[in-house]
Amino acid sequence: MIPLPSTLRIWLAAGVTDMRLGMPGLALKVQEALGRDPFAGDVYAFRGRRGDLVKLIWHDGIGLSLYAKRIERGHFLWPSAKDGAIHLSPSQLTCLLEGVDWRNPQKTWRPELAG
């Protein structure tokens, strides 16, 4: 993933989104459904119906970028709200994209002895 500055604002679009949408369609969704400016430099995350695909869009001042990630097993954890947007920190977004519960991250258990 592209490194994100800690001052970056990240928004999760609550509910499900049609994952056939590309950059223009998702930008329009940000503008109309969320009531925000898609070209202000914030990152917006969208999840599909099955929960195994997430798309992020952001405008970096030069152009609109699209990042898509499909998780192999399981699904991305998403808020249960039907509409609106939830603010995340860059570290919470990293957890989300790694399949970790970003609402309550837990340290992974690791064995202490090899034998």
**56-87 pLDDT tens trace:** 999 988 999 999 999 888 888 887 777 788 88
107 pLDDT band, cuts 50/70/90, is low
| Beta-bridge partners for 12 | 45, 86
Where are the domains positioned within the chain?
8-96
Do 10 and 93 form a contact (C-beta atoms < 8 A)? yes
Do 55 and 46 form a contact (C-beta atoms < 8 A)? yes
92 pLDDT band, cuts 50/70/90, is confident
**pLDDT recorded at residue 66:** 94
For residues 1-11, average pLDDT: 77
pLDDT tens-digit map of 30-55: 999 889 999 999 999 999 899 899 99
**pLDDT recorded at residue 1:** 56
The phi and psi torsions of 70 (rounded to 5 degrees) equal: -110, 130
**pLDDT recorded at residue 86:** 87
User: Is pLDDT above 70 for 106?
Assistant: no
18 pLDDT band, cuts 50/70/90, is very high
